[in-house]
Amino acid sequence: MSSLSSVFITREVFEESIELLKKNFKVISNQNDILFNNFQLLENLKKVNIVQSSGSDMLDEKILSKCPQLNVISNTAVGYNNIDIDFCTKNKIMVFNTPNVLDDTVADFAILQMLSVARGTLSNDKYVKENKWKKVFLKQQMGIDFHNKKLGLIGFGRIGKKIAKRAKAFDLHINYYCRNQEKSKIENQYGAHYSDLNNLCKNSDFIVVIVPYSKETHHLISYDQISLMKKNSIIVNIARGGVINDEALIQALKKKKIYGAGIDVFENEPKINEGFYELDNVVLSPHVGSGTYDTRKAMSLKASENIISAVIHKNFINLVNKEVLN
Torsion (CA) 69, 75, 80, 86 in degrees, nearest 10:
20
Any catalytic annotation for residue 287?
yes
In sign, the C-alpha dihedral spanning 8, 14, 15, 20 is: negative
Radius of gyration of the chain (CA): 22
Contact 243, 220 (CB under 8 A): yes
Torsion (CA) 180, 182, 184, 190 in degrees, nearest 10:
-140
- The one catalytic residue among 11, 240, 296, 305: 240
Any catalytic annotation for residue 218?
no
Supply the DSSP symbol for 264. S
- The one catalytic residue among 287, 296, 313, 323: 287
Torsion (CA) 203, 209, 213, 219 in degrees, nearest 10:
50
Nearest to 110 by CA among 217, 263, 225: 263
- The one catalytic residue among 12, 247, 267, 269: 269
Any catalytic annotation for residue 267?
no
Q: How far is CA 217 from CA 81, 83, 211, 212, 248, in A?
A: 11, 16, 8, 7, 15
- Active-site residue list: 240, 269, 287
